[in-house]
Amino acid sequence: MAGTKTGSRNVEVLLVHDIDQLGKRGDIVQVKPGYARNYLLPQGQATIATEHNKRMVEKHRARLAALEQDRLKSLKKMAEAVSRYSATIEANATSDNQLYGSVVARDISEALKAAGHPVEADQVKLDGPIRELGMYTVKLKLHEKVQTEVKVWVVPSATSG
């Protein structure tokens, strides 16, 4: 086969930044020496993968994994607390229980935050806006691995008396 090199040598580099088609930050990848020498290293995109650098990356990954475990543990604790809580949201409604507006994820998030549960609006998973008075079970996705539900009571506003 013409044009193919046997034994073409690649070098190992440690990526400093995510690079499309190559890898994520912290990955050790094999690249052609010219690519490393002429682009990755001068641009600060990568560094030579020495044994010391590899050990440092492994320590950093272990630290990140431990932090993620702690974060998951606290999110699970919060999910348990939220699942035992029921939020009450006041809304203006007609006499046949139809809301003048609607209750959306942001309203539920604000009610939960007021009760000391730091749930963001994008973590509230509604099928659509709530348009009637009543009790609803709303799904919350706090993390890929942590999901729960909260009871939401939509009640008539006390000001219409």
State the 10-residue block means of pLDDT for the chain, 161 residues long. Answer: 57 90 90 93 91 88 93 94 92 90 94 93 93 94 93 83 43
Number of domains within the chain: 2
Tokens 């050790």 identify what position?
28
Let me know whether 54 and 119 are in one domain: no
What's the confidence (pLDDT) of residue 136?
A: 95
Let me know whether 50 and 83 are in one domain: no
> Residue 28's domain is classified under what CATH number?
3.40.5.10
What's the confidence (pLDDT) of residue 95?
A: 87
Last residue of a domain, one of 72, 96, 123: 72
Exposure pattern of 21-40 as b/e (b: 16+ CB <10 Å)?
ebbeebeebebeeeebeeeb
Last residue of a domain, one of 72, 90, 108: 72
What's the confidence (pLDDT) of residue 8?
A: 64
- Give, in degrees to the nearest 5, the angle at Cα 110 between 96 and 98: 10
Within-domain flag for 3: no
Residues ≥6 apart with Cβ < 8 Å to 113: 119
What's the confidence (pLDDT) of residue 54?
A: 86
Let me know whether 133 and 96 are in one domain: yes
What's the confidence (pLDDT) of residue 9?
A: 87
- Residue 42's domain comprises 11-72
pTM: 0.65
- Give, in degrees to the nearest 5, the angle at Cα 140 between 138 and 145: 145
Residue 36's alpha-carbon distances to 39, 48, 112, in angstroms, are 6, 9, 51
Let me know whether 90 and 126 are in one domain: yes
Let me know whether 67 and 80 are in one domain: no
